[in-house]
Amino acid sequence: MSALDGLDEHQLEAARVLRGPVAVLAGAGTGKTRVITHRIAHGIDTGAYSPGRVMAVTFTAKAAGEMRGRLRAMGVGGVAARTFHAAALAQLNFFWPTVAGDSAPTVIDNKVRLLAHAADGIGLDPDVATLRDIASGIEWRKVTMRSVDEYAAARPDGVGRFGVSRVADLHRAYERLKDERRQLDFEDVLLACAGMLEAEPRVMKAVHEQYRHFTVDEFQDVSPLQHRLLELWLGDRRDLCVVGDASQTIYSWAGADARYLLEFPVRHDDATVVRLETNYRSAAPILDVANELMRGRPGALRLQAAQSDAQSPAPTVADFDDDRDEARAVAARIVAQISSGIDPREIAVLYRAHAQSAEIVAALADAGIAATVLGGRRFFDLPEVRQAVMSLRGASVAPLQGGFLDTVRDVLRSLGLTEEPPQAGGALRDAWEARRAILRLAEESPEHTSLRAFTDELAARAQAHDEPALRTVTLATLHAAKGLEWHHVHLIGMAEGLLPIGYATTFEAVDEERRLAYVGITRAGRTLSVTWARGHRGRQPSRFLQEIGTRTLGAARPTPRSARLNAPAASASGGARTQSAPPRR
C-alpha cells in the first residue's frame, strides 16, 4: 500500500515534493494533517528521508501526539513529532551538561506565582488579574524578541493601575528572581535553546547532523522567536515544508505573525506553493458563509465542498432579548437535535469569551443535557477519573472473579456508575459521563485485553493527553475550538462588543476577530446556527452578520427573530448589497 493512496489531486501535489522549500496553504477542513503525515511517510518509503532525520513541529502536545499516532498507523516510527517547546527543551537537557557542566535549569510551572513573589520584593501589590496580564506581557516581550526597554516603548500605557515604569520594574525583578533560582519559564526554553545554538558551534553542528528535513504545521502562528529558532535548526539546508492558513491566524496578540507564511514564497523564491481548497468537513452553504466573511482578505483561500448536497440546510441566524433567552433557545434546539438521534459528541456551542458560558451551562443543565467545557480540568485529572483508575489498578493485582469487562463494570458500579444517567445536569451528571467514558474505552479494547494492560493504557493516555470524547455537548471559546470539528455548531453572541469584542478598536484587531468568527464557522460540518442577544444595554448585531448577509438583514435594520444566512448579501467592507443576491459557490 502506497503512502500516497487516498490523496486528492492537490494533496498529492504537496506530498510528492520532497525536496526544497514547500508552502502548503491549507484551508480549514482540507486535510492538512493527512498531507503532512503522508508526505513524511512517502519520503521515508522512497528513501528520500531517514526517519531519525525528520523533525515535524506543531503547536500543541495533542497535535504532535496525533501526528505520531498517524505515522505509527502507517508503519512509520522514529520521526521527531514535537512542539517547538518540547524540541527545544529536549535539546537543552541533552546539551546543557556538556556546555555548562551541570544540569539544565528547571522550568517553572506557574509564572503568576513567581511574579507575585517578585512583586513582593519591590513593594508592589498587584491583584491576580493584573499579574496575569503582566505575565502575558512578559510572554509577548520574549516571543517578539524585545528587551524590557523595548517592551516599555511598545506598550506605554502600563497595566491596570500600574504605569509602564513600574511594570518594567516588575519585569526586571521577575527575571532576577528567576535567575537566582536557576529557573526558566516557558519562553526562556526557546530563548535559551536559540542562544545555545548561536554560541556553541559544536551544538549547532550536532543538531544539523541530527535533523535534515523539517515540517512545520500551523505556520501562520509562528512567532519571531520560533521563526528564529527554526532558522537555526535549518541552517543552510533547504528541506522545509510549512503548512498553514492565514485566515486562521488568531494568536497575533500572543506574538504570532502570519507574514512568515504569506511571505514564504518571497523569502524562498524557488518555493513550491500548493493550495488546498477542497473542504471535506463542511456543507456547501456553510462554506459560502465562511468564504464571504474572508473575501478579499490577505491569503484567503476559497473553500469548496468536496461533495455537493442539495439537502444541506442553510445556516440560520436568530436574535433574542437577553442572554438567558438566547441560551434557553439554543438549549432547546440541542434537546431537539439529541431527541432526533444526533450524538451529543457531535454538537458544540462556541463563544468568544469564557464569561459567556455561564448562561448556556445553566440552560443545558436545566434541560438535563450534559456538557463539557473545553479548557477546564483535563479528563485524567478529574477526581472521579483518578479514583476510577486507582480502583481499577488495585483490582488488577487481585484474582479476577469474572472477565476483564465484567470486572471494569463492577468497579465502576461500586463508584457510582448506574445504567441510566442522572436526569439533571451538573456535577453528578459530569461524574457519570466520566465513568461511562472509561467503561466505553474498556468496551472498545482489543479482545483478550487484561485489566493490567487496560490500566497501563489509561496511564499512557494520561501521559500523552489522549483523552476520550465524553458523550456530552461541547462548550468552547473560539480559540479553544481551533483544530476541532463537530457536525452541528451553535455560534452564540454574534453581537457588537462580543464578536468583535469591545476592546478590538483598530483595523488589525477587528480583522483578528473576523478570523475568530471564521474559525468558529468552519468548525461546523452539517448545520450552523448563529445567535445574538440585545441584552440590557441594547447591543447591535455584529458587523460580521451584515458582511456575510442574511435574507432580511440590511445595513441598518435589526435582525428578525429568525433568518437564513444568505451569502453574499453584503460587501466585504460591510456595505449593504442587493438582498436577493443568490449565494456564491
**Rounded Cα distance, 190 and 246, in Å:** 24
Which residues touch 388 (CB under 8 Å, ≥6 apart)?
A: 411, 412, 415, 434, 435, 438
Structural contact between residues 487 and 527, judged by C-beta atoms closer than 8 angstroms: yes
**Is residue 33 marked as binding?**
yes
**Is residue 26 marked as binding?**
yes
| Three cell numbers, residue 422 | 442522572
**Is residue 472 marked as binding?**
no
Nearest partner of 545 among 366, 275, 338, 315, judged by Cα: 315
- Residue 235 CB neighbour total at 10 angstroms: 14
The number of C-alpha atoms within 13 Å of 387 and in the hemisphere containing its C-beta is 14
Backbone phi and psi for residue 317, each to the nearest 5 degrees, phi listed first: -130, 140
- Residue 152 CB neighbour total at 10 angstroms: 20
State how far the alpha carbon of 283 is from the alpha carbons of 75, 78, 202, 247, 585, in Å.
Answer: 33, 37, 53, 19, 11
Residue type, 182: R
**Is residue 30 marked as binding?**
yes
Q: What region, left, alpha or beta, does residue 299 occupy, with left being phi > 0 and alpha being psi -120 to 50 degrees?
A: left
In three-state secondary structure terms, 88 is helix
Sign of CA dihedral 489, 493, 494, 499: negative
**Is residue 130 marked as binding?**
no
Nearest partner of 498 among 480, 469, 477, judged by Cα: 477
**Is residue 29 marked as binding?**
yes
**Rounded Cα distance, 510 and 16, in Å:** 38
Q: What region, left, alpha or beta, does residue 112 occupy, with left being phi > 0 and alpha being psi -120 to 50 degrees?
A: alpha
Residue type, 47: G
State how far the alpha carbon of 531 is from the alpha carbons of 321, 326, 359, 363, 536, in Å.
Answer: 11, 7, 14, 15, 16
Which residues touch 524 (CB under 8 Å, ≥6 apart)?
A: 282, 286, 315, 485, 486, 487, 488, 489
Residue type, 54: V
Nearest partner of 174 among 130, 108, 118, judged by Cα: 118
What would the 3-class secondary structure string for 298-357 be?
A: CCCCCCEECCCCCCCCCCEEEEECCHHHHHHHHHHHHHHHHHCCCCHHHEEEEECCHHHH
Question: What is the distance of C-alpha 34 from the center of its chain?
Answer: 17
**Is residue 178 marked as binding?**
no
Question: What is the distance of C-alpha 23 from the center of its chain?
Answer: 21
State how far the alpha carbon of 254 is from the alpha carbons of 145, 151, 249, 297, in Å.
Answer: 12, 13, 11, 21
**Is residue 388 marked as binding?**
no
Q: Which residues are known binding-site members?
A: 26-33
Q: Which residues are known binding-site members for ATP?
A: 26-33
